[in-house]
């Protein structure tokens, strides 16, 4: 028998009925629009149809790189440009945090592909021994490494009371068929050691304030919260963040949280508390 919690969250095969009355979608990227390897055709089609109906799609990503870099990645993967209006990333939000260390030595903990985060910020990227702060964008090699590989390095940073900026609060993402760790997983371990972390991105409110301001600029007027819908696959990022920002959300069941099919029972386990639940759930974003 379905539990009351499960009954509160309808499982939809189409998002079309939720589109009327909404002016803007704040759509997560990795896990909703693509899986890091290939685009999800149904999601791209849904975003395109929403835009053709007069809606605006702002891709709100926890990617630890500026929006321009993410746009290049989307082009490379094959996500069509007409599926979205603009991009805002946690990398964009992180730049102001990192920029506060202009003139100081910052250790970049993450892959080289994220180096555009530091363009024109005036910080000196240093080795670990010389660092006055840490900017974490991920693991050096997330294909083979786990947070356990960083235990000694993080312990050293914590012992020196170095502050950390986390440019991607996600713990994990689904890349193809593989689950890989993100910067948030390293930041969590650092906090366990007593380290202090400043987070950029979802679920933290500053990136939503940036998103609302961005949307106002795109639409030429303020958009009421009830006319904005967040769409994402992350419980602690997309869904929790939307609730904190006062907007409705739709949960997309990627492999990060759902491995064996979306069911009412699964939703009851994922969302045991009434507060902050999504208004609907889908196996994949589709029109």
Per residue in 37-86, pLDDT tens? 899 999 999 999 999 999 999 999 999 999 999 999 999 999 999 999 99
Residues 85 and 213 in one domain: yes
Residues 192 and 119 in one domain: yes
Instruction: Note whether residue 287 is domain-resident.
Output: no
Task: Report the pLDDT averaged over residues 241-251.
Answer: 97
Residues 176 and 213 in one domain: no
Q: Which residue has the tokens 């904005």?
A: 228
- Residue 6: pLDDT above 70? no
Instruction: Note whether residue 36 is domain-resident.
Output: yes
Distance CA 146, CA 266 (A): 27
Residues 174 and 212 in one domain: no
Tokens of 278: 């999504």
The whole-number pLDDT of residue 2 equals: 44
Per-residue pLDDT tens over the stretch 88-103: 999 999 998 999 999 9
**Pairing status of strand 197-199 against strand 105-109:** unpaired
Task: Assign 175 a pLDDT band (cuts: 50, 70, 90).
Answer: confident
CA angle 282, 285, 287 (to 5 degrees): 105
What CATH number is associated with residue 29? Answer: 3.40.50.1000
Instruction: Note whether residue 129 is domain-resident.
Output: yes
Distance CA 172, CA 139 (A): 11
The whole-number pLDDT of residue 254 equals: 73
Whole-number Cα distances in Å, 62 to 51, 89, 134, 185, 249: 22, 5, 18, 13, 16
Task: Assign 258 a pLDDT band (cuts: 50, 70, 90).
Answer: low
- Sorted by sequence, the CB contacts under 8 Å of residue 103 that are 6+ apart come out as 122, 123, 124
Task: Assign 212 a pLDDT band (cuts: 50, 70, 90).
Answer: very high
Residues 114 and 184 in one domain: yes
What share of the chain in percent tops pLDDT 90?
83
Task: Assign 1 a pLDDT band (cuts: 50, 70, 90).
Answer: very low
Task: Assign 4 a pLDDT band (cuts: 50, 70, 90).
Answer: low
Task: Assign 184 a pLDDT band (cuts: 50, 70, 90).
Answer: very high
User: Which of 169, 199, 229 is where one domain is finished?
Assistant: 199
Domain tally for the chain? 2
Instruction: Note whether residue 50 is domain-resident.
Output: yes
Look at phi and psi of residue 67 and say left if phi exceeds 0, alpha if psi is from -120 to 50, else beta.
Answer: alpha
Distance CA 161, CA 133 (A): 9
Per-residue pLDDT tens over the stretch 97-124: 999 999 999 999 999 999 999 999 999 9
Residues 168 and 215 in one domain: no
**The length of the chain, given as a count of residues:** 287
In this structure, what DSSP letter does residue 39 have? B
- Residue 287: pLDDT above 80? yes
Distance CA 215, CA 224 (A): 11
Residues 207 and 195 in one domain: no
Helices (H), 28-89: 41-52, 67-77
Q: Is 16 helix (H, G, I), strand (E, B) or coil?
A: helix
User: Which of 161, 178, 199 is where one domain is finished?
Assistant: 199
Residues 193 and 231 in one domain: no
Distance CA 157, CA 193 (A): 9
Q: Is 134 helix (H, G, I), strand (E, B) or coil?
A: strand
Residues 107 and 173 in one domain: yes
Distance CA 279, CA 267 (A): 12
Look at phi and psi of residue 256 and say left if phi exceeds 0, alpha if psi is from -120 to 50, else beta.
Answer: alpha
Residues 107 and 195 in one domain: yes
Q: Which residue has the tokens 């919260």?
A: 225
Residues 211 and 268 in one domain: yes
What share of the chain in percent tops pLDDT 70?
96
Instruction: Note whether residue 70 is domain-resident.
Output: yes
CA angle 113, 117, 120 (to 5 degrees): 125
Contact 276, 240 (CB under 8 A): yes
Residues 71 and 209 in one domain: yes
User: Which of 199, 222, 247 is where one domain is finished?
Assistant: 199
- Residue 173: pLDDT above 90? no
Give me the domain span that covers residue 35.
4-91+203-282
pTM for the whole structure: 0.87
């Amino acid at each position: 028998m379905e539990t009351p919690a499960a009954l509160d969250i309808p499982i939809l095969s189409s998002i079309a009925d939720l589109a009327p009355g909404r002016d803007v979608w704040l759509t997560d990227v990795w896990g909703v629009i693509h899986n890091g390897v290939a685009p999800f055709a149904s999601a791209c089609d849904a975003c395109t149809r929403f835009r053709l109906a007069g809606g605006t799609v702002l891709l709100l990503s926890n990617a630890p790189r500026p929006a321009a870099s993410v746009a290049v990645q989307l082009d490379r993967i094959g996500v069509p440009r007409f599926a979205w209006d603009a991009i805002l990333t946690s990398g964009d939000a992180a730049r102001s945090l990192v920029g506060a260390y202009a003139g100081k030595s910052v250790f970049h903990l993450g892959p080289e592909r994220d180096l555009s985060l530091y363009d024109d910020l005036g910080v000196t990227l240093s080795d670990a021994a010389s660092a006055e702060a840490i900017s974490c964008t991920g693991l050096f090699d997330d294909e083979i490494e786990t947070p356990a590989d960083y235990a000694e390095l993080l312990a050293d940073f914590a012992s020196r009371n170095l502050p950390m900026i986390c440019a991607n609060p996600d713990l994990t993402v689904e890349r193809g068929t593989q689950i890989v760790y993100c910067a948030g997983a390293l930041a969590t371990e650092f906090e366990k050691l007593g380290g202090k972390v400043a987070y950029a991105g979802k679920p933290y409110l500053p990136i939503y304030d940036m998103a609302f301001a961005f949307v106002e600029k795109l639409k030429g007027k303020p958009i009421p919260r009830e006319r904005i819908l967040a769409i994402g696959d992350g419980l602690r990022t997309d869904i929790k963040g939307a609730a904190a920002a006062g907007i409705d959300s739709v949960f997309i069941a990627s492999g990060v949280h759902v491995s064996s099919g979306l069911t009412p029972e699964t939703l009851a386990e994922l969302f045991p508390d009434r507060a902050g639940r999504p208004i609907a759930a889908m196996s994949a974003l589709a029109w």
